[in-house]
Amino acid sequence: MKDITDRLADGEYTSIEAARQLALAQSMEKELKRQIGALKDFLTDKMDSKEHLTTELGTVAAKHGSEPRWRVKDPVAFAQWLGTHGEESSVEQVPYPVEWATKPDAIEHLIGQHGGEQPAGVELSRGTGDTVAISKVKEWSQIFNDQQAQAQARQLLGITGGGMAAVKDDTDDEEENPWDRI
Spatial distance between the Cα atoms of 98 and 21, rounded to a whole number of angstroms: 56
Spatial distance between the Cα atoms of 157 and 73, rounded to a whole number of angstroms: 43
Q: What angle do CA 133, 138, 46 make, to 5 degrees?
A: 35
| Strand residue runs (E) in 21-159 | 52-54, 59-63, 70-72, 91-92, 96-97, 122-124, 131-135
143 Cβ neighbours under 8 A, 6+ residues apart: 57, 149, 150, 153
pLDDT confidence of 114, banded at 50, 70, 90?
A: very high
- Tens digits of residue pLDDT in 9-55: 999 888 888 887 787 778 788 888 999 999 999 999 999 888 999 98
Q: Which of 120, 126, 127 is nearest to 73 (CA)?
A: 120
Spatial distance between the Cα atoms of 87 and 105, rounded to a whole number of angstroms: 15
pLDDT of residue 166: 41
pLDDT confidence of 159, banded at 50, 70, 90?
A: confident
